Structure 1
């Protein structure tokens, strides 16, 4: 009798374990930066919220530093679309080679500040951008933020387009960036961020452009970047997204849980990122970096110098989408 009770208990335990294993699911989440940066923190916040709200039944395992694509961040979208990656918190810049509409956010001097960015992402233009992503096999859930990109260099203070002439500037793998810096008279040099810091150290390139969070946390000032210009020439929104096949296999309740957790994580990260800007700038200045803030007229000179880039890329992005963004900013 005792043996029978033990066997019954063991059978029940095995059945319970099997039921839990069947209900517990784990998905991969790719990010380009670790949780030392707001970007990586956004992905981890999403994972934490999902874990908590699903009572541990859904686990999002975050893989930072683009490790699921061997460090090549421009391949992240393709890897997610093919199913090698389940989910991601990705950059509009890195996904733009596969989703040309996302080049909207890289148009130089389209947005002056966070209010302009919010008007675009939270309005018709943002909806069109999400529709373009979904059309390519990925389900976008929410927006995050990598911040406005500023420019630094190791040679001289930059206040006018003429100051950029001949400077070798590291840029990401996007033809639009090549066009922008060529229009400004610089010498754009495409390379991954993993290669950028060694290149800055040796002087193979003179400068780079990135949000303040990257300049600060990555200590770009330690590789000779003594001059920083706040020109807000473009913003890099982040997107929380899921592979379409994974999404379709999820029960409706789980979809809603994932979406709401992404929305909440995105809002949390955007607030964190923006609230940290002033302190980051103070710390950067304290480390001896000369920071230049442009007047409205000085910024307009850069905008005028890159007007041809906006004109050239409008047809590639989609005239309707660009017009929707401009209308949102104007309002």
Structure 2
């Protein structure tokens, strides 16, 4: 081929090679572009749920996304109180928030199913059952979270609630009578009322000052949360064998933020959510016996119910779940269906 034809062809090849290189550089730059998600939490940094759920979730999502996902984390109500975080999520002021359904029970009445008494015996049992209903395709996802424009990434159910009191030791059913006990709202109010106590709904940070002033006689509480809120400084007694419900908290992302993410980053968040869900419940179940021993060393005396009283208590509470479901059914909410699904999930 004459040399006069070589130069144009060489130029074309060079131009093509440069174009490919520029395209590759552009793709690499695009792949490395960071996506920052604003995460609002009401819990303090010292809370074991932050340490064993929030932090593992963010770390795992960052790892799985190879650093593409980044988080601006705002703990301890920096962006808003627990009851306001759903509004922040829906308004776009945050991308991910910690929602505790009991604090917004008018919006999340169905989620109270996991707060009913004597439903499960370990945190993992309750967590996995709740997570199966809250995930994509589950009845709680379809009937409660999706209509509000949010999607659950991490599910947390705490160890079954006990009773911590300042003065009176609770070892019989009649010992509950008249006690002003803190509840988180929702189904827990029904539990307290059924045993003759006076439910006082309030968030965790308000428990200590209320117990100190005598506004509260005690609290329904997972024992691992007592030291989080310094309750061991005023409480003198705790039951160790009752199961008076639980408390649910979830990390949820807005559908708006979810819809903007590419498929691979959605997958990273979902996997990180499952990882954090398991990490937290395993921690809680492992630590429960150790926590009892630590609290006793700090002066909170543990006791079981007197002979025959635990059975009597559970008998007294057995209809709470059915009443809860019926009350929701009357409001055209699928309480009975959710209760049935939850019981099935717990039994698996």
Q: Is the partner of 1:189 in helix, strand or coil?
A: strand
* Corresponding residue pairs, total: 312
Change in CA separation of 1:218 and 1:115 when aligned onto 2, cut-off 3 Å: closer
CA displacement at 1:164 relative to structure 2:
0.9
Corresponding residue number in structure 1 for 2:293 = 282
* Alpha-carbon shift at residue 329 of structure 1 (Å): 4.0
Q: Which has the larger radius of gyration?
A: 2
Query: Could you say which residue in structure 2 is the equivalent of 1:166?
Result: 178
Following superposition, the deviation at residue 135 of structure 1 comes to 3.0
With the length of structure 2 as denominator, give the TM-score of the two structures: 0.80
Where do 5+ consecutive residues of structure 1 fail to align?
1-14
Rounded to whole Å, the distance in 2 between the matches of 1:82 and 1:295 is 51
Task: Describe the SS at the equivalent of 2:227.
Answer: helix
Which of 129, 138, 143 is the aligned partner of 1:120? 129
CA shift, 1:286, in A, is 0.9
Task: After TM superposition, give the deviation of residue 311 of structure 1 in Å.
Answer: 2.6
The runs of at least 4 consecutive aligned structure 1 residues that moved more than 6 Å come to: none
TM-fit CA distance, 1:142? 3.4
| Matched-pair contact (CA < 8 Å) for 2:188–2:245 | no
Distance 1:40 1:122 in 2: 18
Map Cα deviations across residues 37-79 of structure 1 (whole Å, 9 max, x no partner): 221121121112222333332212222223322x3x1232233
Aligned to 2:85: 76
Match of 1:28 in 2: 38
Deviation of residue 285 (structure 1)?
0.9
Q: How does 1:47-196 map to 2 (within 5 A)?
A: 47-69=58-80, 71=81, 73-114=82-123, 116-117=125-126, 120-121=129-130, 123=132, 127-131=138-142, 132-172=144-184, 174-196=185-207
Partners in 2 of 1:330 and 1:250 — Cα distance?
Answer: 35
- Consecutive unaligned residues in structure 2, runs of 5 or more: 1-24, 329-333
How far residue 249 of structure 1 moved from its aligned partner, in angstroms, is: 0.7
Question: What per-residue deviation string (whole Å, max 9, x for no partner) do you get for residues 143-188 of structure 1?
Answer: 234332221111221122210111111222x253333212211122
Using the alignment, how far apart are the partners of 1:26 and 1:115 within structure 2?
Answer: 31
- Cα 1:89–1:175, aligned 2, differ >3 Å: closer, same or farther? closer
Q: Which residue of 2 aligns with 1:327?
A: 344
Whether the aligned pair in 1 keeps the contact of 2:124 and 2:282 (CA below 8 Å) is: no
Equivalent in 208, 228, 235 of residue 246 of structure 2: 235
1:39, 1:145 within 8 Å by CA — same for their partners in 2?
Answer: no
- TM-score, normalised to structure 1's length? 0.84
